[in-house]
A and B are shown apart, each in its own frame.
Chain A
């Protein structure tokens, strides 16, 4: 027993393989660059970045939902739409659309909670189809509300006082700060005790339960967080349009895009959806003169990755290099010189 005590005294647990100062310095540089982007980049690039961040928000949330909590949803566009329409509703009621973003987030979270009690009765493919049904049902309900423009939609009020340039800047900053908040929140969740539960769920639900993890409660929380995040994406999407239409806000393509970029980048890693979004937008911009070819190429890439690199391109890179830009794991080190192996 004395041996155990002495080894425990020399036990150190770290959270990353390199100094967290590198991560912090890198994060500060990136934050400064993207915050200053409207003043240093051309307007067309600012617009592209806005769309990039909207997709990044959705993909990060879908990754949390499917990549960690094991809930493969094809209905997250429902919360994108609800977020957009919640923003429209609050704007119609006189609120500044930018100020309505947090209210749209809360609205989606509140709506998502009771939905879990229905969805969580289903598993696997049935769950996925049910999420789609929920999304379509939400759209049908919205279509029937005349105040929100019914089937034709409505222009988002409260933005006319801003000049076009100011509106573009503010819209960009809103999407950037929401995306930053979503990625940082995801990182903090995955570094917390909850993160370890999510990682275990990703790997083996049965073992996770038997180790004492409250799987259902964790899943419910993650579903609500993912709904809130997709609602935030919908809210900034509504502001960036700024005409809110059911066919656009509840478009199934949102679900397809968030799924594809996460699969290509790397399911179950924070960096994966970021890489997936970068590849998606690089292909889109490079091949924009060739119609939908970027989608065909990206779809083929997704199939190839699913077949040969199921953990995505970032997963493959990490396996080879042990590189983690946003480390969430634990590493054991003994100060008495006893080494633990890592491979």
Chain B
């Protein structure tokens, strides 16, 4: 049984279609990358899975449970953790309190266990030395790490990563990619939207490309990037050749 299954999911905002019959499934422990041009519906897809957005049609099933009437916080408690493309820290709370909330509410831990889970999440993302800093004072890299740390503190079975490498230097991207690979080894299922294609190629074992709310390609990452449909809607020829040879 797949961990996540989307069947004919559709959503439109007025005339804008963000999902049109999206169907795919993801096994436990697998890692799937999502690429596509801006406005393709990638982040909306995450919203539909995490419960921020209600689909107009179709079903989302997680661990065999239809999520249609399951609110976002309950989905998190079931094991759907997510990060946001634009980091959303609790700015007036400390870095530690950011992850502590996730540990207490998302992972349903209490007392010492919640402290340990929150702190471990900070250690894994190299944020522990900044634990008492107000989250609003963090720079972009640390905000992205805090997004990841907070998602980790919910003890996710499925982790939705929304452009966590965007705007970072090569070294910072490598560090974040290493963290994601470690999570993969631990059996966390990864669904990762990313424009930094090399980060995806070094991490995911499958790739889909979205355009206008539809899946235009699905399969091996390099095959997907080499496909004519993906070239047409997303990548230029020079970029794809460079990416595919890495």
Query: Residues of A with Cβ closer than 8 Å to B?
Result: 4, 7-8, 11, 13, 193, 196-197, 199-200, 202-204, 206-216, 268, 329-332, 338-343
Known: A203-B92, A208-B101. A341 touches B130 (CB 8 A): yes
Set of chain A residues within 8 Å of B94, measured between Cβ atoms: 329-332, 342
Cα separation A110 to B102 with both chains bound (whole Å) = 31
Contact indicator B89/A196 (Cβ below 8 Å)? no
Against A, the Cβ 8 Å flags (1 = close, 0 = not) of B160-178 are: 0000000000000000000
* A88 smallest CB distance to B (angstroms): 41
Cα separation A206 to B52 with both chains bound (whole Å) = 8
From the candidates B51, B101, B119, name the one contacting A197 in the complex (CB within 8 A).
B101
Contact indicator B128/A7 (Cβ below 8 Å)? yes
Contact indicator B73/A215 (Cβ below 8 Å)? yes
Cα separation A11 to B71 with both chains bound (whole Å) = 34
Contact indicator A7/B91 (Cβ below 8 Å)? no
Known: A330-B100, A341-B129, A343-B137. A212 touches B90 (CB 8 A): no
Contact indicator A7/B131 (Cβ below 8 Å)? no
Set of chain B residues within 8 Å of A13, measured between Cβ atoms: 96, 115
Contact indicator B130/A211 (Cβ below 8 Å)? no
Contact indicator B105/A211 (Cβ below 8 Å)? yes
Set of chain B residues within 8 Å of A342, measured between Cβ atoms: 94, 132-133
Contact indicator A330/B105 (Cβ below 8 Å)? no
From the candidates A7, A8, A210, name the one contacting B72 in the complex (CB within 8 A).
A210
Set of chain A residues within 8 Å of B153, measured between Cβ atoms: 211
21 contacting pairs across A/B (C-beta < 8 A): A7-B128, A8-B116, A199-B92, A200-B101, A203-B91, A207-B84, A209-B51, A210-B52, A210-B72, A210-B76, A210-B82, A211-B106, A211-B150, A212-B154, A330-B96, A331-B94, A332-B96, A338-B128, A340-B130, A340-B132, A341-B133
Which 10 residue pairs are nearest across A and B when measured between Cβ atoms? A212-B106, A212-B105, A207-B88, A212-B76, A203-B90, A342-B132, A332-B131, A211-B102, A340-B131, A213-B105
Contact indicator A329/B101 (Cβ below 8 Å)? no
Cα separation A212 to B117 with both chains bound (whole Å) = 15
Set of chain A residues within 8 Å of B130, measured between Cβ atoms: 340-341
Known: A204-B88, A329-B94. A212 touches B73 (CB 8 A): yes
